[in-house]
Amino acid sequence: MAIIAKIATLPPWDSLPSALRLSCIENAGISSGHMLNLVLAHGIFYGGCSQFAAGMWEFAANNIFGASAFSTFGAFWISLSVYIWAHEGKLYEMASELDMTIFFCIWGVFVTMFTLITTRISQVHFMVFGGVAALFFLLAMGEHSAAMKKCGGYVGIATGALAIYLGYAQLLNEVWKGNYLSIGARKPSNNKPVNKNKDKYSDVEDLE
């Protein structure tokens, strides 16, 4: 007899906001540079490993968007944290400003594509992913402007707060079995793919 395991849907607040807020607090100039060590620790384990693992569970839960988003951001935080750690440890030279600008711009475009998908999920999802996309573009500009980097820090803090609300709302509504905190969920589309060959061969089937 087959055994079907029920796998819970994982809210996004478990990993993205923590590393996001910690790094953005430093970018905004609110904390000292010594927070970098804490950012790296959170980036590798909480923002990276736990989020990547969450993505694998989402695959099992048949949530393709969640799986793609979780695993992608998890891998991003691991790669960025390892890069910063290796540079600070003098393992290799730091990338140029142009290199980092291209890096952040590529991620900005990538997250923008995710943002377009969230228009069919919920308003808060759209705001969170839109905020992350804006953050990446601001960080790209921040490689050449301290003001843009600081602005990106504040955008990141606001986005992290929204992500915490989103995750907590999903968790609360799931556990309490109701819609206690709204996220502006979109109704699923009733559009179904049309089989163009159905009418074409319907007469043949009737004759048979």
pLDDT digits (tens, 9 = 90+) for 140-171: 999 999 999 999 989 988 888 888 888 888 88
- Give the tens place of pLDDT for each residue, 56-71: 888 888 888 888 888 8
**Among candidates 2, 4, 27, 17, which has minimal Cα distance to 138?**
27
**Kind plus residue range of the DSSP H or E element containing 126:** helix 123-142
pTM of the model: 0.77
pLDDT at position 202: 46
pLDDT at position 57: 86
pLDDT at position 26: 66
Mean pLDDT rounded to a whole number for the chain: 79
pLDDT at position 3: 43
Distance of alpha carbon 164 from alpha carbon 167, whole angstroms: 5
Which pair of tokens denotes residue 194? 């049309």
Q: What are phi and psi of 4, to 5 degrees?
A: -105, 120
Find all residues with CB under 8 Å of 174, minimum gap 6, and list them: 8, 9
Number of other residues whose CB lies within 10 A of the CB of residue 169? 20
Query: Using 50, 70 and 90 to split pLDDT, how confident is the model at 8?
Result: low
Sign of CA dihedral 54, 55, 60, 63: positive
Position 94: which residue type? Answer: M
Burial state string for 178-195 with b = 16 or more CB within 10 A and e = fewer than 16: eeeeebeeeeeeeeeeee
Query: Strand, helix or coil at 122?
Result: strand
Looking at mean pLDDT, say which of 26-30, 79-83, 137-141, 194-198 comes out highest. Answer: 137-141
